[in-house]
Amino acid sequence: MVCVCNATYCDTLDPVVLPALGTYVKYESSKAGKRLERSEGSFQRSLHAPGLLLTLNVSTMYQHVKGFGGSLSDAAALNILGLSRPAQDNLLRSYFSESGIEYNLIRLPMACSDFSVRPYSYDDVPHDYELKHFRLAEEDLKMKIPLLHRASAMSRRPLSLYASPWTSPAWMKSNGDVRGKGTLKGQPGDKYHKTWANYFIKFLDEYAKHNVTFWAVTAQNEPLAALLTPPQFPTIAFTAAQQRDFVVHDLGPALARSPHHTRLIILDDQRIHLPHWAKVVLGNATAAHYVAGMGVHWYLDGIVPASCSLEATHKLFPDHFLLYTEACSGFITLRFSVSLGCWERGDRYSHSILTVLNHFVAGWTDWNLALDLEGGPNWVKNYVDSPVIVDSTKDVFYKQPMFYHLGHFSKFIPEGSRRVGLHSSRRCLICQLEHVAILRPDGALVLVVLNR
């Protein structure tokens, strides 16, 4: 099931209109081909329900929702801009406008990630501790910043941007290379760590000159990435204790001193590291003061249950949010990274989002907004899938089941919503229903149900 979009055609949705009292609006997607198909109905007064009965309890309130979205990597930007201007607009509208699924979160790599066409940093002049030679790249100036302005202009909701670094300049790293695994030279509090913290501020300064502001930064993308990634993968390794000390001595104070009201997110890695990582970092009162929340990647979710990682962390640190910051299908597959029209990959997205929302997570961010038919470009050949696949040779893009699954959450659950109580009349082992109930700021209730 895909929708084929081009310069003149793309499926659209109507803006959400709240139902009249006593009625409901239903949106349905299915493997058979329904794509957020809208219908209406009325509530019945009788309480006799022969099947499963779900009862919402709005007096039981849980976490606030931050939102849903995807990542504007270099690869995503390249693929979007590889289309004709009208097709680009259709793609951006699909994600950000009222006629689309209304994303409000955008994650942005700070300089290169593996989803770039080349490894690079913003300051390749050795020993430039003053960062006098710090410059944004062509990828920022010609691709990402213009696309952010266009997405923002299309969006009815305010967009929250957050940035994540993969690697520092080579001269700050122990391995002397932007590529591959290394640690930051020296110790927290020294000139390397101070310079690296100021690199974050320079990034925020330069983007601000282009009228782009960031809600948050993460301290490091996958600080323990060495566990999963190809040898050339650009990364800086941190232990939890090293991240705590970097936050306490360098990054926390630098952000606090800066003119930017940018929040700080730690971890940005797999939930197998929770609650340990949170205990080490947030167990320090100074670090906890600087940190707003924890970022989580979905790749090893099958190894550790949500209750003993996410929920356990929330119980220990209820004032720090949990946010899913990266997820994608097609990673480490032996057969094919991109699987056009694969319903099961969409199904896994919904299953993940429902599970984590029910365990105190505040939002969910997909990885690349758009990739090509190979699942790239990616300079370490770490190809994966995306909800939108672009074929620039035909000037078309394909909206996959993952796109519509995400839309069941992003379009209907705006920032500021809250999860509320939901009780099932019986545990139905054969029906495999998963669900979450959300109260929106406008007082409307949203119930999302996945039938697996």
pLDDT of 429 reads 66
Verify cis geometry, omega within 30 degrees of 0, for the bond prior to 146: no
Alpha helices in 140-298 (DSSP H): 145-154, 191-209, 240-246, 252-257, 276-282, 285-290
pTM above 0.95, yes or no: yes
* Angle value at C-alpha 432, between 431 and 437, nearest 5 degrees: 110
- Note if 434 is an active site residue: no
Contact 121, 178 (CB under 8 A): yes
At residue 347, the pLDDT reads 97
Q: Rounded CA gap, 257 and 252, in Å?
A: 9
From residue 135, how far is each of 139, 170, 194, 209, 302 by CA, in Å?
A: 11, 15, 18, 12, 40
Handedness of CA 341, 344, 349, 353 (dihedral sign): positive
Q: Pick the closest to residue 197 from 125, 151, 246 (CA basis).
A: 246
Output the tens digit of pLDDT for each of the chain's 452 residues: 899 999 999 999 999 999 999 999 999 999 999 999 999 999 988 777 677 888 999 999 999 999 999 999 999 999 999 999 999 999 999 999 999 999 999 999 999 999 999 999 999 999 999 999 999 999 999 999 999 999 999 999 999 999 999 999 999 999 999 999 999 999 999 999 999 999 999 999 999 999 999 999 999 999 998 777 888 999 999 999 999 999 999 999 999 999 999 999 999 999 999 999 999 999 999 999 999 999 999 999 999 999 999 999 999 999 999 999 999 999 876 668 999 999 999 999 999 999 999 999 999 999 999 999 999 999 999 999 999 999 999 999 999 999 999 999 999 999 999 999 999 887 766 668 999 999 999 999 999 999 98
Among 102, 139, 222, 415, the one annotated catalytic: 222
The active-site residue out of 326, 344, 374, 434 is 326
Q: Look up 344 and say whether it is catalytic.
A: no
CB neighbour burial string for 76-86, b if at least 16 within 10 angstroms, e if fewer: bbbbbbbbeee
